[in-house]
């Protein structure tokens, strides 16, 4: 996705028939910042020596998040399909029924967690689009490449994340 174009304004004076005062006309010329979308190799990994959250980094994390989302959606669809196939096998044994119910319950909790993760991935993709990705939502400090490589949906620096978790624990105890 190309970065927003830089706009160069040129003011020219248009001649009019009336001698009162010349009219000013604004001509806007578009000047492309990039010559097209940034392309990176499949083996590219962001480096600390590059400018933090440069176009290459954004493209890398966008691709990584989109691939992760695609895998999660595929896994969820398979799990839901396979789970619906098991509904036809109702056992007469009450222990088997209880075991099957427990298995389905665990599977549904896993699917729900993955759905929440897909939502987090979508939010991260939006942050890439609005150019806030890679920066802490609390402090606006860089999150860091190592943290983003480990957890691409990270929204906070480690210190801010610990603070959030501590606050959640305090409010959960109330």
Gap between the Cα atoms of 76 and 152, Å rounded: 20
Please state which of the four CATH numbers 2.30.40.10, 1.20.120.910, 3.40.640.10, 3.40.1160.10 is assigned to the domain occupying 36-173. 1.20.120.910
Number of C-beta neighbours around residue 145 at 10 A: 19
* Cβ(13)–Cβ(24) below 8 Å: yes
pLDDT tens for the chain, 174 residues long, are 444 444 444 444 444 444 444 444 433 333 334 456 788 888 898 999 999 999 999 999 999 999 999 999 999 998 888 776 655 556 678 888 888 889 889 989 999 999 999 999 999 999 999 999 999 999 999 999 999 999 999 999 999 999 999 988 887 765
The domain locations on the chain are 36-173
DSSP 3: P
Exposure b/e, 71-80, CB count within 10 A at least 16 = b: ebeeebeeee
94's torsion region: left (phi>0), alpha (psi -120 to 50) or beta? alpha
pTM: 0.69
Gap between the Cα atoms of 138 and 164, Å rounded: 10
């Amino acid at each position: 996705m190309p970065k927003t174009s830089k706009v160069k304004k040129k003011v020219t004076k248009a001649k009019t028939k009336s001698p009162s005062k010349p009219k000013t006309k604004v001509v806007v010329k578009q000047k492309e910042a990039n010559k097209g979308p940034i392309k990176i190799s499949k083996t590219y990994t962001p480096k600390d020596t590059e400018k933090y959250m440069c176009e290459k980094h954004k493209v890398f994390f966008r691709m990584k998040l989109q691939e992760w989302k695609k895998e999660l959606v595929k896994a969820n669809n398979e799990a839901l399909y396979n789970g619906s196939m098991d509904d036809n096998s109702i056992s007469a044994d009450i222990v088997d029924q209880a075991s099957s119910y427990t298995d389905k319950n665990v599977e549904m909790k896993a699917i729900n967690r993955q759905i929440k993760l897909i939502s987090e991935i979508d939010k991260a993709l939006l942050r890439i689009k609005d150019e806030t990705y890679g920066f802490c939502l609390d402090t606006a400090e860089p999150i860091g490449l190592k943290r983003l490589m480990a957890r691409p949906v990270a929204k906070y620096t480690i210190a801010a994340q610990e603070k959030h978790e501590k606050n959640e624990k305090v409010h959960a105890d109330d």
